[in-house]
Amino acid sequence: MACRQSELEKFDKHEECKVELAALLADMNTKDTILQAIAKDALDVSAHETSVEPPPDVNVSDNTDTTVAVYLDGLDTKFEGFCTDYTEKEEAFNASEILHKAKVGDCEGTKTILEDKNAACDVIQGQMEHAACSYAQTKSNLCEGYQVGYEATAQDYDAASTTAITSSKCRKMEIVQIDIIDCLLATISNPTNGSVDHDVIAECPKRKWEWKWDIVPEAKPEKLTCPDDLAYTPCTPAYKKWAVDNLPPNAKGEDCTVCELPF
């Protein structure tokens, strides 16, 4: 993202350079048009010398030295004006041409910088997508292993819990019976006034006996689902939304590389 942002900045700078270059080209063309117009006017005057009006008191048709000299002075003055104007406009055109050529060099430089940055960002993008894909593939494998392992372990846990509960009940019955037998033996072994007390014998099975070792298995942990971030693999909609869609249009980079998940 940071690389693409830097690329965008260089793109903007190159675009600014192109705008400035276009403005300089337009200015140079305008100055060239003006320069050509002056040159054309000078040629038109040269082709139509009679367009130079002599002073009112000079009769060109007299064909005297005075009238010719005045006429030529008029032409000379007009051509000097053309020459001065042309020289000024030519200097302006040359200056604009120099600026344009310099800006062409600047824009070639900004273009090279932009292309280099684009290539560098494409490399980083490829590295990022490779790492993202490897991460997703590893996580997918782990998730699948967890799903399979959970089912097998849950079955083993249920079986072991059932066995433990059954064994506990059996042990409880054994101990209760042993306790009843002990009670009966004690009563028979110690008769009252030489006879067995049948009421005591009848109470032996009814005697309260505390059993502290009932087995109550803990509930199994809930089965987890695969994490949602597996969707963030190259070329998936979620990945594009996260890594590409928020980039400016001019800094999207190359097309992403599809990542194949094992599960």
Contacts of 176 (CB under 8 A, 6+ apart): 209, 211
- pLDDT at site 74: 61
The separation between CA 226 and the C-alpha centre of its own chain, rounded to angstroms, equals 24
| DSSP conformation class of 225 | P
Q: Where are the domains of the chain?
A: 2-251
- Give dist(CA 234, CA 258) in Å, integer: 6
Distance CA 153, CA 159 (A): 10
If you average pLDDT over residues 219-228, what whole number do you get?
82
Three-state SS annotation for 156-197: HHHHHHHHHHHHHHHHHHHHHHHHHHHHHHHHHHCCECCECC
Q: Name the residue with higher pLDDT: 249 or 172.
A: 172
- 43 exposure class (CB count in 10 Å sphere: 0-12, 13-18, 19+): exposed
- DSSP state at residue 63: -
Core vs surface per residue 205-235: b (16+ CB within 10 A) or e: eeeeeeeeeeeeeeeeeeeeeeeeebebbbe
For 9-42, write each residue's pLDDT tens digit: 888 899 999 999 999 999 999 999 998 888 887 7
Q: Quick check: 247 pLDDT over 80?
A: no
Higher pLDDT, 252 or 39: 39
Residue 76 has pLDDT above 70, yes or no: no
Question: Could you tell me the pLDDT band of residue 78, with boundaries at 50, 70 and 90?
Answer: low
